[in-house]
Structure 1
Amino acid sequence: MAAENGGRLSTTAKIRISFVAVASLLALYADYISAIGILNQILLGLVVLFVSGMIIKKIGSLNGGYGVYMISTGKGIGTINRIAKSHKSFWNNMALWGIVLGFGIFSYPIVKGKISKGTFAFGIFTILFILLLVTPYFSYSLQFIDLPGLQARIASAQTASASSGVSPLSYLSLVITVVFGFSGFVFFSLLLNSFSILLAVFAIFQHFAANGIVTTKPLQGVIPGVAPIIPGLDIPLIAGVIALAILLVAHEFSHGILSRIFKVRIKSVGLLLFGIIPIGAFVEPDEEKVKKLDAISQNKIFSAGISANFVLMFVFFVPMLLLLVFALPHIYVQKLIVESTTPGFPANGVIAPGAQILSWDGVNVSTLSQLEAAAAKDVPGSVVTVLTNQGGHSFIAKPENGSSRGFIGVDVGQVSSPVVNTPLKSTEYFLYTVFALSFMFNFLVAVVNLLPLPGFDGKRIYDASVKDKRITNFLAAVVVVTLLINIIPWI
């Protein structure tokens, strides 16, 4: 760890920084387990990180500001040099593969004459493989992200997909991604979510015009397209830090490796932290030498980090899948939770939302299929006995909409929760958490980096490949507008 003036930190400074880091870690953990609400947790966590970052910056005389500071060093450059000297063909092909993933069929003018037909076809095949066979598993990773309404939205989407099949928008997204790569995918996703948010805002204005009352209910079903992901606040602390650190180091080291392959000197490497949370890593090449390279060499350097993140996505996907199939069935237990009760039916006001249903008509139930089978014999006028974790109840079933079935008026959802009551289960669940988060975060970092925004790899690829800068500036402006719209649900 180097100080701003190039000197090393004293032992006293290291001890003081360690004390601040531990105190910050404990404060974040206390915030994570508190019951003050997710938005308050995020705000409090940001304050903790801001204050700890400012203190650490001052103690170590580090570059940075507003709680963010940079740790730079010369360590790691030797490792980058050694890797760059071996398997040059692999790293070149991986970078070209990443360009195809990033820009799909549209990337052909960029890589024409520099990529084999097999590598190009493999890139297009990889796009289809990811969309059709990999992305459906992101729902397993999203369960570790604690954002308002996210889990309900996932469950709703899964139910809608199961009942109506693949939507036309899914086919459109598939076509766009094959043609324009994952840059088109992320751009289309932001536009689509922006449209949903604007429709919700329009509904709010309509309600106000008709009733003179402002309601935010239409926005409650919309997930913000932009959200803070902070270990210890909305994702697990230790697993989240490990996942972020791995993807950031791999991303930046890959930039450095391709830079060295093209004889560009690396000045320094390091980490960017907010408080104690790594939010970025960097490899600082000689930018003047990078600018003197031809366009395809520059694009290989710029796409290297994106390519590495796609590779890591697959690397973590495999063990996540293995644990999902072989370990998690022994860790997770299924529960039936009452989500709401219907006014006018016997259970309303008797069984509270959040109660767990243990048995129905004397039959132990823990899944919706078991509940459906147990309740199949209920008819209007029959006695229905329900045992919950809050007590037992008996009701007289009532008909609904002329149905021959009897109902007591409870809406029930099935939830899964881990039971990690042994060291083996705890270890398996922790590893599963790390793999699941790494799997998803590597994908997200790869596709978001393709956006044509300043400081993003995508912007540098556009600048090196598109002569008319007005096109790049227009796309960047559209992305900025969509990002601002996607923040609206947080306001």
Structure 2
Amino acid sequence: MLMRRVVILLAMAIFYMIINLNIPASVKFFAAVVELGVVGEWLRKEYKFDGEYGLFLIKSRKGINKINEVALRYERILKFFADVSVAVAFGLASFLIINWRPAKERAAIVALGFFVMLLISLFVSPYALDVILSTVGIKGIEETFTGEVNLVYPVMLFLSGFCGFISYSLLAHGVTVVSALYTMLTTGFQQEVHEGATLLLPGINLPFLEGILALALILVVHEGAHGLLTRIARVRLLSSGLVFFGFIPVGAFVEPDEKHLAQRSIKEQERVLAAGTGANFFASILLLLIFLALVFLTSDFYKEGVVWFGFLQFIYRFLGLAFALNFVVAVVNLLPVPFFDGYRMLELVVGKKIAQPLSIALLIALILNFLPAIF
């Protein structure tokens, strides 16, 4: 037991040394991943955890028991929350989707969804984009949402929520990229077009430790919400627990009985799917408030020389990334493309014949949004 603790402490010390080395970010990322992978494999074999390649799962019945307890106690509130999340996802169109409620209730839920969308768009989104763009060091993505067609975006948000908003944004910028490529190939003139999407990777373009912890928090929030609505739908949870890479927690998971869930009503499936992104949206609002409050309360300490200046910097970076990435992950997860919640939500509403061609178009647009980073 003592030897295990010594090895873990030594691994932590080596990891700390790696992330503080003055070397290129890509090299630092590779070294940290290798070290965590080796440690993770050792821990997995030593403690006989499920997993592979340095990732392992710590399963517990306590998580399921807690989810059951919360779901039972707050069932009505959580159902209402999930329906509001559907409204945030699909905007005005959600009035037709949440047809399991009376018309007056639907109108109230859609109105509340509009308020949440407005709050996120005006309050969270500008701060989140500023944090992401300044951290990643990309210029120009904000131009995707400006120009002659800028009025289209709020209209899309109003009519079809964040699902329609992100879909239209990708398609519109994809068309811009195609136009620029055509101009370059036919005239030789290279028009300046910025990428409309980028990967966010801790250690590459995000602070390593803060980025991993922020992403872990996002997964806990997201999966926890899925788990709660899964139990409310009377679908059995097979397992739950934490995901580790090396000694660092990188997320949480709940494993529902997918076959049983697929047999539930559209109402219950929509609620389960919408809950994850809804939780991330609400978490982004809450974390932003905490971040701003902390900055205000500690402004006198925000200067070099204060004993815990470094710790404050770490907390600022973590909270900043946590609220910003909760927002980004929530929006991106509403994309109606395979493996994203947005696709399954849309497929339940319009069917595979419509959802599938749209997802193919959006996948092509997504690739096009990445292209300017290559050229």
Q: TM-score, normalised by structure 2?
A: 0.84
- When residues 105 and 316 of structure 1 are mapped into structure 2, their CA distance, relative to the original with a 3 A threshold, is same
The structure number with the bigger radius of gyration is: 1
Aligned partners of 1:81 and 1:260 also within 8 Å: yes
Calculate percent identity across the aligned residue pairs. 29
Are 2:169 and 1:189 aligned? yes
Range 422-431 or range 238-247, more displaced: 422-431
Q: CA deviation at 1:309?
A: 0.9
- Cα RMSD for the two superposed structures: 3.4
- C-alpha distance in structure 2 between counterparts of 1:192 and 1:39, whole Å: 32
Are 2:358 and 1:475 aligned? yes
Residue 170 of structure 1 aligns to a residue whose secondary structure is coil
Are 2:221 and 1:262 aligned? no
Pick one of 130, 139, 142 that aligns with 2:132.
Answer: 142
Note the 1:39-58 alignment, pairs <5 A: 39=26, 41-42=28-29
Aligned partners of 1:182 and 1:450 also within 8 Å: yes
- C-alpha distance in structure 1 between counterparts of 2:259 and 2:237, whole Å: 12
Instruction: Tell me the residue number matched to 1:394.
Output: none
- What count of residue pairs does the alignment treat as equivalent? 371
Unmatched segments (≥5 aa) in structure 2: none
Pick one of 229, 234, 237 that aligns with 2:201.
Answer: 229
Aligned partners of 2:87 and 2:110 also within 8 Å: yes
Instruction: Tell me the residue number matched to 1:407.
Output: none
Could you tell me which amino acid in structure 2 is paired with residue 95 of structure 1? A
Unmatched segments (≥5 aa) in structure 1: 1-10, 211-216, 332-418
- C-alpha distance in structure 2 between counterparts of 1:464 and 1:16, whole Å: 51
Residue 240 of structure 1 aligns to a residue whose secondary structure is helix
- C-alpha distance in structure 2 between counterparts of 1:68 and 1:197, whole Å: 38
Which one has the bigger strand percentage? 1
Residue 314 of structure 2 aligns to a residue whose secondary structure is helix
Instruction: Tell me the residue number matched to 1:349.
Output: none
Residue 75 of structure 1 aligns to a residue whose secondary structure is helix
Q: CA deviation at 1:179?
A: 0.8
Q: Relative contact order: is structure 1 or structure 2 higher (C-alpha 8 Å, sep ≥ 6)?
A: 2
Which one has the bigger helix percentage? 2
Q: CA deviation at 1:272?
A: 4.0
Instruction: Tell me the residue number matched to 1:343.
Output: none
Could you tell me which amino acid in structure 2 is paired with residue 302 of structure 1? L
Note the 1:85-104 alignment, pairs <5 A: 85-104=72-91
Range 451-460 or range 423-432, more displaced: 423-432
Could you tell me which amino acid in structure 2 is paired with residue 226 of structure 1? T
Residue 293 of structure 2 aligns to a residue whose secondary structure is helix
Are 2:6 and 1:34 aligned? no
Residue 454 of structure 1 aligns to a residue whose secondary structure is coil
Q: CA deviation at 1:262?
A: 2.3
Could you tell me which amino acid in structure 1 is paired with residue 127 of structure 2? Y
Pick one of 412, 434, 437 that aligns with 2:318.
Answer: 434
Q: CA deviation at 1:69?
A: 4.4
- When residues 22 and 39 of structure 1 are mapped into structure 2, their CA distance, relative to the original with a 3 A threshold, is closer
Aligned partners of 2:287 and 2:322 also within 8 Å: yes
- When residues 108 and 78 of structure 1 are mapped into structure 2, their CA distance, relative to the original with a 3 A threshold, is same
Instruction: Tell me the residue number matched to 2:109.
Output: 119
Aligned partners of 2:195 and 2:370 also within 8 Å: no
Pick one of 210, 214, 237 that aligns with 1:243.
Answer: 214
Q: CA deviation at 1:250?
A: 1.5
Note the 1:230-379 alignment, pairs <5 A: 230=202, 232-273=203-244, 280-325=251-296, 327-328=298-299, 331=302
- When residues 487 and 69 of structure 1 are mapped into structure 2, their CA distance, relative to the original with a 3 A threshold, is farther
Could you tell me which amino acid in structure 2 is paired with residue 80 of structure 1? I
